[in-house]
């Protein structure tokens, strides 16, 4: 370290690493590492690009759930098949997250930039033009694979560009990616579905992806491995981090990174947040089905209702992130947010069996759930990355890969389990609408049949051409030729009602209670989240946290002074 310069100019690249600006224009499209820690303006620009990328990626991923009933109808899918599209997609996304754990070796920015391009191409050209439901499943699985990679790479970039004392704010903005993505989905569909097809809705999301890709391919950068493989507590550490980077063996510090992540505070915390988010997964994937089958809401009305959830959650994420960073603590916010989520979700569960619950009651409940989940989640993301750093800051991508894998596996399992628990969803989604229409169209004929059940049971044994003359004469005598004509005209609707009417009627009765059971399982996941707060990194007391920050800064000042003296 004796060759260390006597001054530490953070805007000057290290002498042994080529400056990014010296590269040719084509090389800049794939060689994105920065030799120096960027000043605030550039750093915020990189963070904004990462957040925008996350927003449009989740817009493209979640749009299919907002038009779920239209896709099911178009491909003549069963509801269970559509669920397995999601299950398979999330399972593939889980293992893609593990692949993205190698982002520390491959670089995060290229994964994000070119992953976004591939996803946009699939959503614009592939999914809307899928010829069969099997093709649709395969293409959606590919989109989910890309999402699994970006799920890890984007928060890794956020961590790199945000010191610990600003981490909750940065993670709050990043978490707005999935939330704002959901808000964009519900806002666009609630305003355009009257004049657009489900294919149009997918293409709208892909166009947004192309726009952000054009910005990201030219502008997004990342820290060099030597810079990002260190802990940066505050921006005042910048000179020390750059000085240390000159002698850092990045291969050595990454050895054993996966083994180091196999700890309770990493694995347990990842599982805890995954089950805490069970209601969020249901909101994304099942609210359209739930409100359509239980309360008769259209896709547009459900998406408009969900806007209250996403909007409240987005605001909460940012404000709480700012407050968490100001007080320098995470755990109190996680506990308050977790406990508040338990209470609000429990109230929501109690309303699941009441078809008379009005729109604005749900809106207020969703505002409460959105606010409290935001209070918990932004500080949790900051604390989780700090927990990973406590073991090895060079293993950030590996730690986030463990988290991404865990979340996607829980999503896949929960998606597969819902049709098993909520058995009413399948007959209601597949036949509820047509049974309702048939009941109206065949109302007069049904009344006639119900008035003469034995006669029509006997007539059903024959086709119109093979009815015995005696039975036909009896039918005319008892019912009348005109009424028989009404029944014959409504024969297709009556057949549909005989085949599915009882199943749909039973499902309509059982559905609210079955969904209530799932909402209580979501409450259980939120309760399970609470004890794992105690194993994560961070202080409970703002006073203690301030003392830690002051002690750290004194240590940094001493090390910088020693480096300067050695350089002299």
Per-residue pLDDT of 73-130, as tens digits, reads 899 888 888 888 888 988 898 888 887 776 556 678 888 999 999 999 999 999 999 9
Instruction: Output the pLDDT for position 45.
Output: 92
Of 343 and 255, which is predicted with more confidence? 343
Structure tokens at 329: 């603590």
Burial of 565 (0-12, 13-18, 19+ CB in 10 A): exposed
Report the 3 state secondary structure along 480-526: CHHHHHHHHHCHHHHHHHHHHHHHHHHHHHHHHHHHHHHHHHHHHHH
The DSSP code sequence of 412-455 is HHHHHHHHHH-TTHHHIIIIIHHHHHHHHHTHHHHHHHHHSHHH
Angle (nearest 5°) at CA 470 between 467 and 476: 80
401-439: pLDDT as tens digits: 899 899 989 988 998 888 888 888 778 877 877 888 888
Most confident of 69-78, 182-191, 371-380: 371-380
Which long-range contacts link 189-193 to residues 24+ away (Cβ below 8 Å)?
A: 189/63, 189/66, 189/67, 189/299, 189/300, 189/303, 190/300, 190/301, 190/303, 190/304, 190/307, 193/67, 193/299, 193/300
Instruction: Output the pLDDT for position 324.
Output: 94
Instruction: Output the pLDDT for position 466.
Output: 86
How far is residue 320 from each of residues 3, 84, 407, 473, 543, measured CA to CA in Å?
44, 36, 23, 79, 18
Residue range 180-195: average pLDDT? 84
Calpha distance 142→144 (Å, rounded) = 5
200-238: pLDDT as tens digits: 999 999 999 999 999 999 999 988 888 888 888 877 877
Please identify which residue in the block is written with the tokens 């105690």. Answer: 534
Domain residue spans of the chain: 20-432+507-567
Q: Is the pLDDT of residue 18 over 90?
A: no
Calpha distance 319→375 (Å, rounded) = 9
Beta strands, E only, 111-172: none
Cβ 81 vs Cβ 140: under 8 Å? no
41-72: pLDDT as tens digits: 999 999 999 999 999 999 998 898 888 888 98
Instruction: Output the pLDDT for position 24.
Output: 62
Structure tokens at 206: 């892909």
Local structure of 222: helix, strand or coil: strand
pLDDT, the chain, mean: 85
315-366: pLDDT as tens digits: 999 999 999 999 999 999 999 999 999 999 999 999 887 878 888 999 999 9
CATH level 3 topology of 20-432+507-567:
Growth Hormone; Chain: A; (1.20.1250)
How far is residue 148 from each of residues 91, 411, 414, 440, 441, measured CA to CA in Å?
9, 12, 17, 46, 47
Q: How confident is the model at residue 496 (pLDDT cuts 50, 70, 90)?
A: confident
pTM: 0.81
Q: How confident is the model at residue 2 (pLDDT cuts 50, 70, 90)?
A: very low
The DSSP code sequence of 297-332 is --HHHHHHHHHHHHHHHHHHHHHHHHHHHHHT--HH
Q: Is the pLDDT of residue 20 over 50?
A: no
Q: Is the pLDDT of residue 393 over 70?
A: yes
């Amino acid at each position: 370290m004796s060759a260390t310069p006597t001054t530490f100019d953070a805007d000057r690249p290290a002498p042994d690493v080529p400056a990014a600006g010296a590269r040719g224009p084509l090389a800049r499209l794939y060689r994105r590492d920065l030799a120096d820690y960027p000043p605030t303006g550039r750093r915020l620009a990189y963070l904004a690009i990462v957040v925008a990328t996350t927003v449009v990626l989740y817009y493209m991923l979640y749009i299919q759930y907002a038009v779920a009933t239209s896709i099911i109808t178009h491909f003549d899918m069963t509801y269970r098949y559509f669920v397995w599209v999601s299950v398979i997609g999330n399972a593939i996304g889980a293992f893609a997250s593990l692949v993205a754990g190698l982002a520390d070796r491959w670089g995060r920015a290229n994964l994000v930039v070119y992953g976004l391009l591939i996803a946009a191409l699939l959503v614009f050209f592939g999914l809307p033009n899928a010829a069969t439901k099997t093709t649709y499943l395969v293409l959606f699985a590919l989109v989910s694979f890309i999402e699994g990679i970006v799920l890890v790479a984007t928060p890794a970039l956020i961590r790199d560009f945000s010191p610990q004392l600003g981490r909750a704010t940065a993670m709050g903005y990043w978490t707005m990616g999935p939330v704002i993505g959901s808000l964009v989905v519900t806002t666009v569909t609630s305003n355009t579905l009257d004049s657009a097809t489900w294919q149009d809705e997918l293409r709208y999301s892909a166009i947004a992806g192309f726009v952000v890709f054009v910005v990201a391919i030219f502008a997004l950068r990342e820290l060099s491995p030597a810079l990002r493989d260190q802990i940066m507590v505050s921006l005042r550490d910048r000179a020390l981090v750059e000085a240390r980077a000159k002698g850092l063996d990045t291969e050595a510090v990454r050895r054993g990174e996966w083994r180091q992540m196999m700890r309770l505070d990493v694995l347990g915390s990842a599982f805890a947040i995954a089950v805490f988010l069970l209601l969020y997964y249901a909101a994304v994937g099942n609210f359209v089905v739930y409100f359509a089958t239980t309360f008769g809401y259209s896709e547009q009305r459900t998406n408009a209702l969900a806007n209250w959830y996403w909007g409240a959650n987005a605001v909460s994420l940012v404000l709480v992130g700012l407050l968490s960073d100001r007080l320098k603590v995470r755990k109190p916010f996680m506990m308050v947010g977790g406990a508040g989520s338990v209470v609000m979700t429990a109230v929501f569960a109690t309303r699941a069996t009441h078809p008379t619950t009005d729109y604005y009651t749900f809106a207020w409940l969703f505002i409460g759930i959105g606010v409290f989940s935001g209070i918990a989640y932004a500080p949790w993301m900051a604390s989780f990355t700090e927990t990973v750093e406590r073991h090895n800051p060079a293993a950030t991508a590996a730690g986030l890969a463990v988290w991404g894998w865990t979340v996607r596996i829980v999503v896949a399992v929960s998606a597969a389990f819902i049709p098993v628990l909520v058995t009413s969803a399948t007959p209601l989604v597949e036949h509820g609408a047509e049974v309702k229409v048939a009941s109206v169209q065949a109302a007069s004929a049904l009344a006639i049949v119900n008035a003469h059940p034995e006669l029509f049971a006997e007539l059903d044994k024959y086709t119109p051409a093979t009815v015995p003359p005696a039975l036909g004469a009896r039918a005319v005598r008892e019912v009348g030729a005109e009424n028989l004509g009404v029944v014959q005209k409504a024969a297709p609707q009556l057949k549909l009602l005989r085949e599915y009417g009882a199943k749909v009627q039973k499902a309509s009765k059982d559905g609210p209670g079955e969904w209530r059971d799932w909402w209580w399982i979501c409450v259980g996941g939120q309760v399970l989240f609470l004890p794992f707060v105690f194993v994560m990194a961070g202080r409970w007391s703002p006073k203690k946290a301030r003392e830690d920050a002051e002690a750290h800064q004194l240590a940094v000042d001493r090390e910088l002074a020693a480096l300067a003296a050695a350089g002299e």
